[in-house]
Every structure is written in C-alpha cells, then in structure tokens.
Amino acid sequence: MDLWYTEKHSDNVGITMKSTGTLFSGKSEFQQLDIIDTLEYGRMMLLDGLVMVTERDEFVYHDMIVHPALFTHPAPKQVLVIGGGDGGSIREIMKHQNIELATLCEIDGLVIEKSVELLPSMAGDIDGSNPRVKLHVDDGLAYIREHQNEFDVILVDSTDPIGPAVGLFEEDFYRLVFGALKDDGIMVAQSESPFYHAEIQKSMYKNLRAVYPIVEMYQAFIPTYPSGFWSFAFASKKYHPVRDFDRERAANRSFYTKYYNEDLHLGAFMLPTFAKENIAE
C-alpha cells in the first residue's frame, strides 16, 4: 500500500511525500500532534496537520533561528526560547559555551514528551539531563510577564499565527518581550514565507517597528516549508545584525554548523525586491 502525506500551502499548491507509517498520533488540549516516518525526509512532526520539523532539513531552521542572534550579541548568557518544544533550538544554543542558562517555555508538554521519545537528534538537551537547560511547560505570554529584564536573547520559535500561537504575532506580545530583554537584548522570531504570507509579514513587521529601534528580515531555504523560502525577524534594542556582527568570532566558532556560516550570516539579510516590499515601512 502506498501512503502519502500531503500539506496544502494554498488552495492550489502543496507538498506531498511518501510515508512508511505513523509513529504517534494524539491530541493535546492545544493541538493535534502527529509524528510520521517518511522515505525522503525521515521522521516528521506535524501540528494540526502542518509540517513543523523533519529530520532531514531541520538543521536549516534551527541554525538560522539561533546563530545570527548569538553571534551578533557580544556576550549572550541568558537565552529564552518560547515554543520550540522539539528541542532543536536548544541544541544549537548549547553549542555556545558562553551561554549560562537556556530556558525553554513550551505551552504543550506533549510536544516535548514525544520529541524526546521519537526525535532524539533534536531533543537530546531537553530530556532533563542538561544543567544549563531549564524547562517550563507554560504559556509564553504569561511567562515573560513574570520575567522582565532577564534575558540577553529571546527566540520565538512558534507555529503559524493560528491556534495557540496567534498572540505571538501581536504588538502587545512584542512589548512584553521588549521588557523581558536586558538593555541590549535581541529578539528573533520566525516570520513566515515572503512568497505566500505577505499580509502576515506586513502586520508583523509593523508591530515590531512600533516597539524596537532595529528591525530586519533575513532569509533561509527550508525545503519542506511553504515555497521553500522562509524568513526570520531580527528585532534589537541596540545591535544591528550586519553592522555589529562579529564576523571573526563566527568564523572561529568551535562547533560545526551544517547551514550557518559567517558569509551566510551577511548574505541572509540581503533580500530580493519583493520581500523588501512586503515589509516596507
């Protein structure tokens, strides 16, 4: 029997791939969680039927949500990840030995539990064994309200702006994050596909610019995400991701990154015209 998983990226376009079966299927109080096995991309996590991560291409997303901020900030020590229950962002943060503590605040404990069980290549640092990692199963908005002026970097590793993630794209949330950052803090958030999600981006970057003095978009190629062309928002109180980037420190990093490097860091902020137009002031 041929089993195929299909996700629609619009009413007329989608992605499909052959699956060898379902490893887990269940519903939490927040969302439907499925982990399936595919021939081309390995194990794949779906939330409400949409691709979140796959074993084959997750390195792109996790490299790019983490390392641009951590190599722009001169001395990050305290990092918060909101969402990111698959553990991939924490894995990349832990490569930076100067990080004293990384806190993961994920609203859905089932995502953490099943990631640790079925996606160990991503979730090895969120199994409770790493003393530099602290886990909180909690709503990100509630958590940062109680933790102001604490973090050097905050990464918003969220799903699309539907369901429990809707509030993570609004101006009030960005103001709460601003308050939770130290005076020279940086926030990074995934900001959807410039090819398919122009209206979401216009709203998101308008909301960010109402709060942060420095707001830039950067890009990455992620094959299993809509259009393959994905973006991230870099919002900072002080440091610019190009002008203040420590290229030498990034070039001399002591760990391996499969996607990110010091040249790509600069190139990622050079956007095609239509993507610039999406977020024009």
Catalytic residue chosen out of the listed positions 57, 108, 125, 157: 157
Packing angle, helices 171-180 and 198-209, rounded to 10: 50
How many other C-beta atoms lie within 10 A of the C-beta of residue 172?
Answer: 11
In the chain, at which residue ranges do the beta strands (DSSP E only) sit?
A: 3-8, 14-27, 32-38, 42-47, 50-54, 78-83, 101-106, 133-137, 151-157, 181-190, 214-221, 229-236
For residues 83 and 164, what is the distance between their CA atoms, to the nearest angstrom? 10
Q: Are 144 and 185 in contact (CB under 8 A)?
A: no
Residue 201: exposure state from Cβ atoms within 10 A (0-12, 13-18, ≥19):
buried
**Structure tokens, 135:** 């886990």
20: Cα within 13 Å, side-chain hemisphere: 8
Whole-number Å distance between alpha carbons of 227 and 221: 9
157 is catalytic: yes
Active site residues per annotation: 157
